Structure 1
Amino acid sequence: MISWPDSPYRVGISGWRYPPWRKVYYPDGLPQRAELEYASNRLNSIELNGSFYALQRPTSYQRWYDETPDGFVFSMKGPRFITHMKRLADVEAPLANFFASGVLALGNKFGPVLWQLPPNFQYDADRCAAFFDQLPRTTAEAAEVAKAHDERMEGRALLECKVDLPIRYAIEVRHASFATKEFIALARAHEIAVVCADTAGKWPMFGDVTADFAYARLHGADELYVSGYDDKALARWARKIRAWKTDTYIYFDNDVKVHAPFNAESLAKRLGVTSAGAEA
């Protein structure tokens, strides 16, 4: 297994288990259980999206840690129960459950946590500020938060962190009401990265750097989740990312026609993200 060197750029994919990718991106005959190892030897980061749909288990996070190279980093999507159902309010127990679910097993591979808001969520400064204030800022603080989990986590909670690291947060918004200087100032005050999301024009795109890192999600150049990025488009994104002059996490989510992993590898090369032992 390779080892990824430090880089200001983390380029990857959102999730890795997609049946259409088999025999196209993943080699014919590669077992499903080996797909994460394969992808993580070609890309230096992956965004975990299963955590958005359901709380995972500590054994899963530990397995993902073990299957990926040194220097690799996971980002993870916060639960939609918090963003879509609770809509960021009254989330003390759900936050504790999330941090108790096993994320701390990622250790030094623990990257940013992404909060993706639904398209019908309008900007509410007080609600956003109150939510930002609740977020633990280190893995040690997260372990303390996790201790307040509810009874459904009994017997499946992980309440200790391997290493104490800062936790970074990003927020992806999809309602036009967020396109204000007030929201950008609020995110900057709380050091929350506002996601630069390419959604084929469906939702607002932000380019402001509001934290000590940037976060981009590329959902499709012309058709959401479907269309790919040609060389000219990837060159534009590489210039944009370099212009931010900060650590940047970039994930491709245009998975329907298997563009995502190939686009990610191409952009990584443009940004100089390489590792000895990675296949060309």
Structure 2
Amino acid sequence: MSRSVSDLPFFLGCPVWSCPHWVGQVYPPRTPRSDWLNWYTRTFNTVEGNSTFYALPTIETSKRWADEAADGFRFSFKFPRVISHELMLRNADRETAAFLDCLLPLADADRLGPTFLQLGPSFGADRFDVLERFLRRLPAEWLWALELRHADWFDESVHELRVDEMLRSMRIDKVLFDSRPLYQSPPDDDIEAVSQTRKPKTPIRQTATGQSPMLRIVGRNRPELADAYFDEWAPTVAQWIRQGLRPYVFTHAPDDARAPELARRFAARMAIEMPDLSFEIASPPMPPRQMSLLDE
């Protein structure tokens, strides 16, 4: 059995935990799909749960996820789009209560990380009061993060300062989104071409407003193309760690098959930045036949 990476000095993961291409990278060969989550949680210590943006799991499913996850693992789920994009935080009490009910088994099992609210590009500063009322009604004992996309929130002036101060006062983290690696050059394949039509190009910020700054970085299907951007972020993440914060870093790729390699490259860059700490990422064990071949 491979060890958990819960002793990493920060949280590192992918946007999903289930991908057939990860056999040999995250799951041992011939691992049944029903065991993929368990093996994922022994490789990375967090996951960005985008599935809740589209549909809620049953409470029984949440309990099963909590049971299957390794000690120290944290799920970071996204608010449903009906709350963030359709209702735009208005008259969403019923939908929010249903979402929180789904998360409760994970919170009770100490498997819940920051739950993040991603607002759409039409949610501007004119809705600040709506946003503040919504955030203040969330359970204060849970971790929350907010991703903003409207240009108002990046004005380096009144609106940006106001929302940052609000988040600090509530100890809510700001989601930092970096899609520069994706857009650094024309796409190399059709999957990257589609991704370049979908991912936003919000301005880069390194603002920490809570205890768990969240970085979502979108790389390329050639993972090495993200290295220069990892070089930029590693000192910032290291500084957060030295300040006693517990950052969350999620590595995205146009093709999910590449996400684990991106995460490993980021961990390797952090090891250079902080050589006194361990950033080792566990690998799944090989079948006995493969191991014996290596010994010959």
CA distance in 1, matches of 2:256, 2:143: 31
Distance 1:5 1:38 in 2: 13
| Superposed counterparts of 1:157-196, under 5 Å | 167-179=142-154, 180-196=160-176
Structure 2: how far apart are the matches of 1:230 and 1:85?
33
When residues 243 and 40 of structure 1 are mapped into structure 2, their CA distance, relative to the original with a 3 A threshold, is same
Q: Which residue number corresponds to residue 149 of structure 1?
A: none
Tell me by how many angstroms 1:26 deviates.
4.8
For residue 163 of structure 1, what is the aligned residue in structure 2?
A: none
Look up the match of 1:51: 52
2:28 and 2:122 map into 1 onto residues whose CA distance is 40
Q: 1:227 to 1:78 in 2, by over 3 A?
A: farther
> How far off its partner does 1:278 sit?
5.0
Structure 1 residues 43-62: Cα deviation after superposition (integer angstroms, max 9, x where no partner): 11112221121111122112
Stretches of structure 1 that go unaligned for 5 or more consecutive residues are 139-166
Matched-pair contact (CA < 8 Å) for 1:227–1:257: no
Question: Are residues 186 and 46 of structure 1, via their aligned partners in 2, closer, same or farther at CA, if it must alter by over 3 Å?
Answer: same
3-state SS, counterpart of residue 194 of structure 1 = strand
Counterpart contact for 1:42–1:265, Cα < 8 Å: no
Task: Verify the 8 A CA contact 2:26 2:39 in the aligned structure 1.
Answer: no
Q: C-alpha separation between the residues in 2 aligned to 1:208 and 1:125?
A: 19
Counterpart code for 1:216:
L
Count of matched residue positions in the alignment of Structure 1 and Structure 2: 247
- Determine if contact 1:57/1:102 at 8 Å carries over to the other structure: no
Identity %: 28
Equivalent position amino acid for 1:16 in 2:
W
The residue aligned with 1:265 is 264
Give the TM-score normalised by the residue count of structure 1.
Answer: 0.78
Shift of 1:36: 1.5
Q: 2:116 aligns with which of 114, 117, 120?
A: 114
Question: How do 1:30-69 residues align onto structure 2 when only pairs under 5 Å count?
Answer: 30-69=31-70
Q: Deviation string for 1:196-216 (max 9, x for gaps)?
A: 111237123221111122111
Cα pair 1:24 1:258 within 8 Å, conserved: no
For the Cα contact (< 8 Å) 2:173–2:214, is it kept in 1?
Answer: yes
Aligned with 2:137 (options 130, 134, 137): 134
Cα distance change, pair 5–36 in 1 and its aligned pair in 2 (3 A)? closer
Instruction: Name segments (4+ residues, structure 1) moved above 6 Å.
Output: none
Gaps of 5+ in 2: 155-159, 184-200, 271-277, 286-296
Report the Cα distance in structure 2 between the residues aligned to 1:230 and 1:270, rounded to whole angstroms. 11
Report the counterpart of residue 162 of structure 1 in structure 2: none
Pair 1:235 & 2:210 matched:
no
CA distance in 2 between partners of 1:249 and 1:66 (Å): 22
Q: Secondary structure at the residue paired with 1:12?
A: strand
Amino acid at match of 2:84: T
Looking at CA atoms only, which structure, 1 or 2, has the larger radius of gyration?
A: 2
Shift of 1:33: 1.8
The separation in 1 between residues aligned to 2:207 and 2:135, in whole angstroms, is 18
Q: Does the CA contact (< 8 Å) of 1:12 and 1:43 recur in 2?
A: yes
State the one-letter code of the partner of 1:185.
E
8 Å CA contact retained: 1:4, 1:70: no
Deviation at 1:233, TM superposition (A): 3.1
Shift in CA distance, 68/255, structure 1 to aligned 2, threshold 3 Å: farther
Q: Which amino acid aligns with 1:210?
A: T
Give the C-alpha shift of residue 279 in structure 1: 4.8
- In the superposition, the TM-score normalised over structure 2's length comes to 0.74
